[in-house]
Amino acid sequence: MLFTKERESHQFKLTRPVLLIVDLQSYFCHPESPAYLPGVEKILPKVEKLIKSFKMKGLPIFQTIHRRNSLLMEKWWRAQVKPEQTKPVFEDHTIITIKKDTYDAFYNTGLEEALKSLEIEQILIAGVRTHLCVETTARSAFVRGFEVVIPIDAVFEKDEWRHFSSLKNLGHGFAYLCEVEEILCALESLGQDRPG
């Protein structure tokens, strides 16, 4: 089992969770995009399971869409996200969309205020890229007082070294690491006292 030490050290419990899907959009998921992440398709069924389970429980779901790069990110990556590359993989009117311009889903987006208004305690983060937007958002959530849960089979980075290094760091100091099936089981036993 991956990350055994980190997983045994910290066990998660869901009380008032939200699902946050990070940047699963055409920019990263469409094969013809210059930023396409080969292999990203393997996490999509896992994310879909989480969406279905959260919807069945009446729990909130948010997703981020990276709409453009900040000036520094544009300079760093020498690229800009085009409007047609912002289409979400999971188009669903019940999913609340947050638009962002940098790695951090909390930076200048209103996400923190929205989650606090729902009295959210745990943020489950799925999506891409593990070592960039997922990790930055996880750290940002942690310092804002949210418990962070990362389903390791529902986040993705095409470079395995970066992917596993990021998860190792997150599991050491910021996030509970688990698998999607563990979350589904935890949701099944979740009580009726929930946001919404």
- What is the per-residue pLDDT for 7? 59
End-to-end CA, the chain = 35
**What are 6-61's pLDDT values in tens digits?**
656 667 889 999 999 999 999 999 999 999 999 999 999 999 999 999 999 999 99
Instruction: Tokens for 64, please give them.
Output: 């981020």
Please, how many CA atoms are within 13 Å of residue 52, restricted to the half-sphere of its CB? Answer: 9
**What are 67-109's pLDDT values in tens digits?**
876 666 677 666 678 888 899 999 999 999 999 999 999 999 9
For the chain, give every domain's residue range.
Answer: 15-188
pTM: 0.91
Query: For residues 85 and 129, which has the higher predicted lDDT (pLDDT)?
Result: 129
What is the per-residue DSSP string for 72-140? HHHHHHT----GGG--BSS--TTSEEEEESSS-TTTTTSHHHHHHHTT--EEEEEEE-IIIIIHHHHHH
The pLDDT of residue 115 is above 70? yes
Q: Which CATH superfamily is domain 15-188 in?
A: Isochorismatase-like (3.40.50.850)
